[in-house]
């Protein structure tokens, strides 16, 4: 039996070459999980790290009963790590947070409080602690993406989100699609989302995996891929069947 089925909420944490930050992750989640308003666990997804991240994840999971991990054979990227988490989770709700802890697990409380009636609740980084150039990239990227998607989302790059698992499992996932969760939610029958301001902190360990190339150039390609997919997205709702036994 998948152990996440014993919980109401599973937090997915993609990890790639974050060995210097694993101790901080253990401290943050060991502190947060007992205080979470619903029964929660954390699922670390090692995206084929080339450092000691996986070894350290094994260690912290061995001494924390609400910690779980899975690992890729080779590096596949952030979207793949998130999708692997979605595929594995069996709790009614799931969340996503980056391993750099520039957002805090404690702010999941704010998102969980708004999930009723919605498919997703997304954080919006208030008082971002990134460089001016990085903030500019984000503003430009969000504006460009909104022009293609018309989803109204203001901060799709915020690495703090809560989903209804049944909704997350329906997302058609391609590389880069983690930036389009709001748009993907709105494609679903009855799908909706809401945004909530959350805190943001400076990165203290590791380094960003994104550059101007993969933020701007690949983001443009992703927008065109989303527009192609949206035109071909299949929607249906079953209203009758005789599959249920009486």
pTM to 2 decimal places:
0.82
Please report the pLDDT score of residue 34 as a whole number: 97
Using CA atoms, how far apart are residues 228 and 222, in angstroms rounded to an integer?
10
pLDDT at 208: 58
Question: Residue 51 and residue 118: Cα distance in Å, rounded?
Answer: 38
Taking alpha carbons only, the member of 67, 207, 49, 191 closest to residue 119 is: 191
70 — pLDDT class (breaks 50, 70, 90): very high
């Amino acid at each position: 039996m998948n152990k996440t089925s014993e919980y109401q909420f599973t937090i997915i944490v993609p990890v790639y070459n974050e060995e210097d930050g694993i101790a901080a992750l253990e401290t943050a989640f060991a502190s947060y999980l007992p205080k979470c308003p619903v029964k929660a666990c954390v699922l670390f997804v090692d995206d084929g790290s080339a450092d000691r991240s996986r070894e350290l994840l094994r260690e912290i999971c061995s001494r924390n009963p609400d910690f779980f991990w899975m690992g890729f054979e080779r590096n596949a990227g952030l979207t793949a790590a998130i999708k692997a988490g979605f595929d594995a989770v069996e709790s009614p709700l799931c969340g996503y947070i980056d391993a750099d802890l520039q957002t805090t697990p404690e702010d999941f409380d704010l998102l969980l409080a708004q999930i009723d009636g919605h498919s997703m609740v997304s954080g919006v980084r208030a008082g971002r602690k990134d460089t001016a150039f990085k903030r500019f990239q984000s503003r430009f990227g969000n504006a460009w993406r909104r022009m293609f998607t018309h989803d109204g989302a203001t901060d799709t790059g915020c690495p703090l989100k809560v989903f209804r698992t049944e909704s997350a499992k329906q997302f058609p996932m391609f590389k880069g699609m983690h930036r389009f969760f709001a748009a993907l939610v709105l494609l679903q029958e009855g799908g909706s989302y809401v945004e909530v301001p959350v805190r943001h902190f400076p990165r203290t360990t590791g380094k960003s995996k994104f550059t101007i190339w993969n933020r701007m150039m690949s983001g443009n390609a992703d927008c065109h891929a989303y527009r192609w997919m949206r035109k071909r997205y299949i929607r249906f709702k079953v209203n009758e069947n005789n599959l249920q036994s009486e």
